[in-house]
A and B are shown apart, each in its own frame.
Chain A
Amino acid sequence: MNEALTLEGVSKRYSAHIAVDDLSLVVPRGTIYGILGPNGAGKSTTLRMVMNIIARDAGRISLLGADPVADRTVLRRVGFLPEERGLYRKMKVIDVIVFFGELKGMDRRAARASAAGWLERMGLGDWKLAKVETLSKGMQQKVQFIATVIHEPELLILDEPQSGLDPVNQEVLRDTILNAREQGKTVIFSTHNMEQAEQLCEHVCIIAQGRKVLDGRLRDVQRENIGNRWYVEFDGGSDQVSRFMRGETRYGPVTPHGEGWRVEMDAAADPRPLMAAVAALDVPVVRFERERKTLHEIFIDRVSGAVTPQRRPEVAHV
């Protein structure tokens, strides 16, 4: 059993619209998995169904090998950071963390010791006995994060973890995610920040309007969606090169890009004639390569057109 999470044909319908539509995905253990999509795509709804906070209408979910509806105890092995966060404002920092640890089945004394250690590592050692409401927003976010991981979960599910974090805390979060991964844990997080996903994830799933657009290993996704865009860079001979490149429009639009040129070829075009023409020039070629698309570009390619701004469900998550 190598999957941390499996979704098969999961759907969730609200009275006005379908939030998640026949979604299937597989999260292998020990990986960092990104669920990407624009606002309102159904990311949070999906994660909430996984955590059994809301009930699914259809489909099967296997979380760490168990259905969270049938076996709630499996949720104790998961750390969940919801999109909208909150702590008891009147409680002491350490008491809040211990409370959440206990809810996940920890022994109180063990939770207290572990919480103290985490606070120390996060630079909040002096705030252990302060009331939550006296902490800055950034500190509260750290406390919330500790409360999510205090029980050493096998699987971390983070809903938009970086939203509202300052750059320093984003770095802290990043380190913690990578650290968890090094310890053999699985991390699933949702985001609409493609750049961040690209840096962290090994697997991604892009959803839009409740439907899966694509999923798989990031490497495979990038290879499969590589497109036909080429980058050419010469060593010197700028006038001659410029004249030549601006004349080569038979393959597609050409634009200066960085130190060199970018050729946006039609999908079916063969790059070899261009390669031959470049080689025939009396200027040394430094680079001639097929450009990898960023996740953002793949996302835009696949999603644009399909996306119309959608209203979020307003009242209830029944």
Chain B
Amino acid sequence: MSEVMIVFRREFLERVRSRAFALGTVLFPLFMAAMWIIPAKVGQGGGSRTIVIVDQAPAGVGALVEQGLTNPQGPAASGKDRVTYTVQRVAQPLEQVRATLIRRVQAKEIDGWLYLPPDIVRSSQAQYRARNVANFAVIGDLQRATTQAVQAARLQAAGLDAGQVAGLVKRVDVATARVTDKGEEGGSAASAFMLSYIIGFLTYMMILLYGMNVLRSVLEEKTNKIAEVIVSSMKASHLMLGKILGVGSVALLQVAIWATVTGLISSRGDFLARRFNLPPGAFDMVNVPVGTLLAVLGFFVLGFLLYSAMYAALGAAVNSEQEAQQFQVLVMAPLIIPIALVFRIVSDPLGPVATVLGMIPFTAPVTMAMRLAAAPVPPVQIVGSLALMLVTVLAVAWLAGKIYRVGILSTGKKPSLAELGRWLRAA
């Protein structure tokens, strides 16, 4: 068996047999799911509010506001996370009741009060005072109910019927679907965005996690002085190659496991949707063409090779994880750029920002994963970007190998930039 294979086998088995791998394979998708579901759940919250309306407004407005809150019409009425309101209306001036209201809020008898001033139709100003004014759902409801009431009053003053006007200005819903090489395909704008973000984020996380794994593995050999024994039996470059391929294969195995499970889920999508009371097509977004998947995989593999080579060099150059932390950010910075610009890339996947980031080898893996999931990227760009990456991987690996060779046997303080330059020349 060749040296590279022996190292490969050790790195692969050590990781696959570890508890961390099993846990990661199960927990990572749960973590990803939680990242999507929890923010969506928090902030809706539902629940109920008791509110006093201090009604100084012209006749009818207060009643309409109350009705808008307790018995809403239109899109606001649907959704099980809706906040329900209990409303009391008082007609005294605010100055007379303010002290009482404050006491009642403090006693948690009511949640807050909404003040509708006498000139509300002209000034468009109302006030809401409550223990918690940070709940967007409640503020939104109050704004909508008050606006509708005031608009109705204004329309009436102009001699128009509110119901008629509402029918005239009804907004239009735009239904979305992607057109791909195969024709029109399902998937809403939201699910296309989700898919694009998930695939981009997954690529980012996997490159980062497994790149760090390479770094830690190099550091272990260096700090435990294993490197010296190994290098007396084989070439340092072979050691680095075997290590990167070994760790990378673990990442691919993990991805393969997830892909298989996802494939099973999507092939039973309709059944699962019925089983869990989800709308039909809830799993449609996992239907991605095979060609796209292969291209994403290609970018992931090259991206991993690129970053793990840099992480291997970093691990060899420093002496401890603490030291590595300081430089880690520099290595991963280009990887974060597409994540930071995710909205720009996904909302305009064929636009200039996405195209340029997709061609730069250091930002390409994550960017291209997002773009490929969001739109039909021209094949010329895919092939061109892959080719550029391949060349970059070879060049970076060559440089990293030199730093690695000298670094794993070095001791003492961490090298300065000038010393790193010397290593590059010497090796």
| A281 touches B (CB below 8 Å) | no
> Which DSSP category, helix, strand, loop or mixed, fits chain B's interface?
helix
Contact call A100/B229, Cβ cutoff below 8 A: yes
Interface size on B, residues (CB 8 A): 33
Residue contact A103 to B422, C-beta cutoff 8 Å: no
| Stretch from A33-41, A72-80, A185-193, A210-218 forming part of the interface with B | A72-80
Determine if B226 and A53 form an interchain contact, defined as CB atoms under 8 angstroms apart: no
Q: Is the CB of A318 within 8 A of B232?
A: no
Task: From A82-90, A225-233, A234-242, give the one contacting chain B.
Answer: A82-90
Contact of B225 among A82, A91, A104, A315 (CB under 8 A): A82
- Mostly, the A contact residues are loop
Query: What string of 1s and 0s marks CB contacts (under 8 Å) between B386-426 and chain A?
Result: 00000000000000000000110111110100010011001
User: Cβ of A315: which chain B residues have Cβ within 8 Å of it?
Assistant: 410-413, 415, 419
B238 to A: closest C-beta gap in Å: 10
B423 touches A318 (CB 8 A): yes
Decide: A316 near B423, CB < 8 A? Known: A53-B231, A103-B233.
yes
Q: Tell me the chain A residues, 260-318 only, with Cβ under 8 Å from chain B.
A: 314-318
Interchain CB contact under 8 A, A80 and B14: no
- B209 sits at the interface (CB 8 A): no
CB nearest neighbor in A for B229: A82
The residue of chain A having its C-beta at the shortest distance from the C-beta of B405 within the complex is A318
The answer to whether B232 touches A51 (Cβ under 8 A) is yes
Give every chain A residue within 8 A of B223 (Cβ-Cβ): 86
A84 touches B409 (CB 8 A): no
Interface residue from B228, B233, B411, B419 paired with A75 (Cβ < 8 Å): B233
Could you name 13 residue pairs across A and B whose Cβ atoms are closer than 8 Å? A53-B409, A78-B232, A80-B229, A82-B225, A82-B229, A85-B229, A86-B229, A90-B14, A103-B3, A104-B233, A315-B410, A315-B413, A318-B406
Give the residues in chain B near A84, CB-CB below 8 Å.
225, 228
Residues on the B chain within 8 Å of A147, using CB: 229
CB of B261 closer than 8 Å to a CB of A: no
Enumerate chain B residues within 8 angstroms of A75, measured Cβ to Cβ: 232-233
With A75-B233, A87-B224, A91-B10 known, 9 other A-B pairs at CB within 8 A are A53-B231, A72-B234, A75-B232, A82-B225, A82-B229, A85-B225, A86-B225, A88-B220, A316-B406
Interface 0/1 of A90-111, CB less than 8 Å to B: 1100000001101110001000
Q: Which residues of B contact A100 (CB under 8 A)?
A: 229, 233
A248 smallest CB distance to B (angstroms): 55
- A residues in contact (CB < 8 Å) with B: 15, 48, 51-54, 72, 75-76, 78, 80, 82, 84-91, 99-100, 102-104, 108, 147, 314-318
Q: Chain B: which residue is nearest A318 at the CB level?
A: B426
Q: Which residues from chain A contact B220 at a C-beta distance below 8 Å? A: 88-89
Tell yes or no: B6 within 8 A of A by CB. Answer: yes
| Closest residue of B by beta carbon distance from A15 | B422
Distance in angstroms between the alpha carbons of A315 and B413 in the assembled complex: 6
- Rounded to whole angstroms, the CA-CA distance of A147 and B232 in the bound complex is 13
Nearest CB of chain B from residue A254's CB, rounded to whole Å: 50
Closest to A104 in B: B233
CA of A15 to CA of B425, assembled, Å: 14
The reply to whether B6 and A102 contact each other, CB–CB distance below 8 Å, is: yes
Query: Is residue B37 within 8 Å, beta carbon to beta carbon, of the partner chain?
Result: no
Bound Cα distance A72, B427 (Å): 17
Q: Of the candidates A80, A91, A103, which one forms a contact with B234 in the assembled complex, judged by CB atoms under 8 Å apart?
A: A103
| Set A86, A314, A318: member contacting B224, Cβ < 8 A | A86
Contact among B229, B410, B413 for A317, CB-based, below 8 A: B410
The one of B228, B235, B406 that contacts A82, using a Cβ cutoff of 8 Å: B228
Nearest-Cβ distance from residue B3 to partner chain A, whole angstroms: 6
- Chain B residue numbers with a CB within 8 Å of A51 are 232
> Is B225 a contact partner of A53 (Cβ separation < 8 A)?
no
Q: Which listed residue (B1, B224, B411, B413) contacts A88, Cβ 8 A?
A: B224
The 8 Å CB contact of B413, one of A87, A89, A99, A314, is: A314
Q: Which of A48, A91, A316 has the most CB of B within 10 A?
A: A316
Q: Is B253 an interface residue (CB 8 A)?
A: no
Nearest A residue (CB) for B227: A86
Question: How close is A233's CB to chain B, nearest CB, in angstroms?
Answer: 50
CA distance A48 to B409 in the complex (A): 11
Q: Does B230 contact A (CB under 8 A)?
A: yes
Q: Output the residue of B14, B224, B232 with the most chain A CB within 10 A.
A: B232
A52 to B224, CA, bound (A): 20
Q: Name the CB-closest residue of A to B230.
A: A103
Q: Cβ of A316: which chain B residues have Cβ within 8 Å of it?
A: 406-407, 409-410, 415, 419, 422-423, 426
Across the interface, name the chain A residue whose C-beta is closest to B226: A86
Residues of A within 8 A of B14 (CB): 88, 90-91
| Closest-CB distance, A143 to chain B (whole angstroms) | 12
- Cβ contacts under 8 Å, B3 to chain A: 103
